Structure 1
Amino acid sequence: MSTDPESADDPTPRGTAPEDTGSQLDAALRRVGSGTAVTDTGQIDVLATVGGWRGLAESVLPSAVFLVAFITTQHLWGAGIAAVAVAAVFSVVRLIQRQSPVQALAGLAAVALCVVVALNTGEARDYYLWGFVTNAAYILALSVSVFVGWPLLGLVFGMVRNEGLQWRQQAGRRRRYALATWILVAALGLRLVVQVPLYLADLLTALGTARLVMGLPLYALALWLGWLVSASKPRT
C-alpha cells in the first residue's frame, strides 16, 4: 500500500491542521480507522498515519517558517504572515486538486488562528498556546473514554480489525485497548510536560523546536505502539 496516496476522489482527509493538536490527532485516527494507514499485511503504516511526506510537510513547515522568521527578524507580523502564506500555498494546491474545501482550508485556518492569538497578545510564544488547549482537551477525552469502558483506540482499531464492538465482551481485549489508549495519553501528556515549562520560561527557540519534534511523528509512534500492544494473541 502506498504511504502517500493522494487521489482527488479519496474521501479520507489528508490535510492536517499544523498547529491544532486536536485536528492532527483526529486526522491520524481517521486515517487508521478508514484503513488507509494500514498495510495489506495488517500492520500500521507509520508514514501514512501522518498523511505521508506531504502531510508531514504541511504540519512542520508553517511552524518552522514562523519560528525562523521571528528569530531572524524579531518581527511578529512578518513571521505570522510568512507562516500563513506557507499554509495558504498548501491549501491552494489542495483546492486545485479539487479536494474538499473544508479539508483544504483546515490547515490554513489553524495556522491563522495561532497567528491571531500571538498578534493579539504581542507574544511570539503564544503562537503555540492553542496547541496546549487542544492537547489538554484530548487528554481528558481519551482518559474519560478509558474510565467509562470505551477506550477510543479500541473503537478505532476494533473497526479496522473487523472486531466491531465484540472486543468489549472480552476482558483481555478491553485491557489491551485501554493500554493502547493510555499510550496515546502518555504521548500527549509528554508534550505538555516538556513544552509548558519552555512556554512559561519564554524559551521560544526551544519551544518551537520541541513542538516540531513532538508533533505528528510522536502521534504516529504512539499509534504504532498502541497497535502493537493491542494485537490479539496468536492462537496455539
Structure 2
Amino acid sequence: MSSTAGGERPEGDEGVESRDASESPAPDAADFGRQLAAAAEKSGLGALARDEKLSGRDLLVAVGGVRGILEALLPGLVFLVVYSSLTSFGDVDAQSALVPALVASVGLAVVFTIARVVVKGQPTQAIAGLVGVLASAALALWSGDARDNYVLGFITNAAYALALLISLFVRWPAIGLIVGFLMGDGVAWKQDRRKYRAAQFLTLVWIGLFVARLAVQVPFYLVNNVEALGAMRLLMGVPLYALVLVFSWLVVRAVYPSSARSAE
C-alpha cells in the first residue's frame, strides 16, 4: 500500500488527478468530512470502524441500539398491523382505517420520545423519528391515502442517493470522507490509490442501498399495495442497513489494517 507519509504519489491511477498531490485538500470538503465523521462518531459508527474484530455490541450500537431499533421499526409496524387488520378483517374501508392506524403509529412515537426525555437519555434520535412519523402522517391525512405515509421515505432515500452520487462526481466520495476522519486519516486517503478506490466502491454500495429501496418499494406504491409496501419498508430498513454496514466494515478493515499487521 502506498503511503502519503513518504510523499510518494501512486502512478497510473486514473481516479486521482495528478494535481491532487501538490494541492492542499479543499477546505470545504475537509470541513464537511469532519462534520460527517462527528455525526457518525456519536452514532457509534466510529467505534465500529476502528474495531479490529467485528463486535456484536458495537454493531448493535451503530444501528441505534435496542431502543433505537424499536423506535425505528415499531411505529411503522404498528401502522401496518392496524391498517391491514382493519381493512382485511374489520369490514372497514381503506380511508376509514387510515386514521386509527396513524393514531397508533404517532402515539407510539410520542411514547418513545417521552421515555427518552424521562430517563434523561439522548432524545435527538427519538425526536427525529417523531418528526418523520408526524410529517408522514400529516401527508397521508391530507391526501386521504394510506400509501402516502411512505412518500417521505422515498424522498429521503432519493436525496441520500443523489448526495452520494454528487460526491463521486466531484471526486470526494462521501464514504471516504467519513471513514478517513473516523480512522484518523483525514483526507490523506485521497492520495492512496487503494483507499481512494475503496471509498469510491463503498460510496457506490451505499448508493445501491438507497436505489434498491426505491426500486423495490415504488412499484408497490404505484399499484397501491400498502401491505407489501409497508412490509418491504420494514425489511429494507434496519436489517438491510445492518448488512451493508457489516460489508462496509469488512472493506474498511481491508484497507486500514491493524497496527500490528502494519508494523509487520
**Contact kept in structure 1, 2:48 and 2:249, CA below 8 Å:** no
**Which of 49, 67, 74 is the equivalent residue of 2:62?**
49
Secondary structure of 1:90 counterpart: helix
**Contact kept in structure 2, 1:28 and 1:50, CA below 8 Å:** no
Distance 1:72 1:185 in 2: 35
Q: Match for residue 246 of structure 2?
A: 224
Show structure 1 runs of 4+ deviating over 6 A.
26-29
1:189 matches 2:200? no
Q: Match for residue 165 of structure 2?
A: 143
Q: Match for residue 7 of structure 1?
A: none
Root-mean-square deviation (CA), in Å?
2.2
Distance 1:27 1:122 in 2: 36
Higher relative contact order (CA 8 A, sep 6+): 2
Paired AA for residue 84 in structure 1: V
Distance 1:84 1:38 in 2: 34
Q: Match for residue 166 of structure 1?
A: 188
Deviation at 1:98, TM superposition (A): 2.4
Deviation at 1:105, TM superposition (A): 1.7
Which has the higher mean CA deviation after the structures are superposed, 49-58 or 116-125?
49-58
- Identity between Structure 1 and Structure 2 (%): 42
Distance 2:187 2:53 in 1: 19
Q: Match for residue 43 of structure 2?
A: 31
Distance 2:145 2:224 in 1: 9
Distance 1:140 1:196 in 2: 17
Distance 1:102 1:52 in 2: 14
Distance 1:205 1:175 in 2: 40
Deviation track 1:45-102 (CA, whole Å, cap 9, x = no partner) reads 4322211221111111000000111112241111111000110111001111224554
1:58 matches 2:68? no
Secondary structure of 2:255 counterpart: coil
**Contact kept in structure 1, 2:98 and 2:146, CA below 8 Å:** yes
Q: Match for residue 82 of structure 2?
A: 69
Distance 2:126 2:73 in 1: 16
**Contact kept in structure 2, 1:67 and 1:79, CA below 8 Å:** yes
Q: Match for residue 21 of structure 1?
A: none
Deviation at 1:233, TM superposition (A): 6.7
Give the unaligned 5+ runs of structure 2: 1-37, 88-96
1:93 matches 2:106? no
Q: TM-score, structure 1 length as denominator? A: 0.81
Deviation at 1:36, TM superposition (A): 4.2
**Which of 77, 84, 95 is the equivalent residue of 2:106?**
84
Which has the higher mean CA deviation after the structures are superposed, 209-218 or 36-45?
36-45
**Contact kept in structure 1, 2:83 and 2:98, CA below 8 Å:** yes
Distance 1:27 1:205 in 2: 34
Q: Match for residue 9 of structure 1?
A: none
